[in-house]
Amino acid sequence: MKFTVQGAVETGEYRNVLLESGYTEQQITARLEETWSALFAGDDETRIYFPVNDDKGYILDTGNLDVRSEGMSYEMMMAVQMDKKEVFDRLWNYSKTYMQHTDGRYKDYFAWHCQPDGTRISQGPAPDGEEFFAMALFFASHRWGDGPKPYNYAEQARNILRACVHQGEDGNGDPMWDPATRLIKFVPESPFSDPSYHLPHFYELFARYADERDHSFWTEAAAASRQYLHQACHPVTGLSPEYANFDGTAAEPQPHGDYSHFFSDAYRVAANLALDWEWFRKDEWQIEQSNRIQNFFGDIQVSDYRRYTVDGKPFDEPALHPVGLLAANAMASLAADGPYSSHFVHLFWNTPLRRGERRYYDNCLYFFSLLALSGNYRIY
């Protein structure tokens, strides 16, 4: 397949890979609506969204029975993409009320997880939540317009990004991006990163929407992240570790585990790279990388997905989130032009949402892939 040299940010056009693969507009629209309804109003084995009182709602990590900044910000992005303002505002009200710090070293950051009643389990933040919160809020501002606090979406987003870049300049706290390398950290205090946190397509837009004084920072961060992913992804398998140093090498084992392998967090890298290609098309390496990851998994059954070393050796440990991994591999078809591109699209289409205890993470990646492959993961 021959790709145009311009991304959707310039053309305003988004590939509908599902339509290209033979599914009809009616089938695709129906699948989107059915999947949204299942996740947000389905049965107890499928839904992950739960409204609270008159103005709040949360996304439950069904494997850990907690509420995470990751999931809240993900679902806000899904809601703005689907034009579901009531759900978006409920999620934002919950996040703003219970998770966002109003003072101290984490001011304007979000506690990374809490109990469903809003009680914080940990005070510290996880930067993937902040970047998704900010991008979803900017899109909400552009799609629906700003209102009174806390619905002044664009200013809320700028406050978050201001903290991400400048926290600690007064000696209290740490920024979420390393000032020297322009790379996102795993947590503000850490000297390493997480490859799946790198969203250069978001940073390109932050360079337009954030505080003017930080526009150059975000442009540099986008370029730095693209180069970083060249280093973090294996040149043959395409696999990346869950945590990696600022030079792209796998991070040392942490007190809470060894994250130097290709496992749950790392699945998102393929999806992120593909969306960056769809939106901006600034790095043709992303085509090669998308082919590599699809080639690695092309002949492996989803039921046989496992933990892997980054050079491709399997562990005797099944993947915790096989449907999520499949969804990310399918989303790679936005960029891939290799022999498995069509295979993963059809395999994804024929795979249902995951049900049961571990469904939260799988189905978040599933819905993002469905949005992207249908041409509905858009810039607003």
The 10 Å Cβ neighbour count of residue 248 is 18
Q: By three-state DSSP, how is residue 177 classified?
A: strand
Q: How far apart are CA 135 and CA 138, in angstroms?
A: 5
The answer to whether 370 and 323 are in contact (CB under 8 A) is no
DSSP notation for 245-293: -TTSSBPPPBTTB---SB-GGGGHHHHHHHHHHHHT---THHHHHHHHH
Q: How far apart are CA 100 and CA 77, in angstroms?
A: 17
Q: Does 70 qualify as catalytic in the annotation? A: yes
Q: Which of 61, 66, 70, 75 is catalytic?
A: 70
Written as six digits, the tokens of 139 are 């899109």
Strand-pairing partners, residue 93, are none
Q: How many helices (H) and strands (E) in the chain? A: 14, 7
Q: Which of 89, 265, 283, 362 is catalytic?
A: 265
Q: How far apart are CA 231 and CA 253, in angstroms?
A: 19
* Cα Rg of the chain (Å, integer): 19
Closest CA to 134 of 182, 184, 171, 86: 184
Q: Does 212 qualify as catalytic in the annotation? A: no
Q: How far apart are CA 120 and CA 217, in angstroms?
A: 32
In the Cβ-directed half-sphere of 230, how many Cα atoms lie within 13 Å? 8
Which residues touch 354 (CB under 8 Å, ≥6 apart)? Answer: 321, 323, 324, 362, 363, 366
Residues with catalytic function: 70, 265
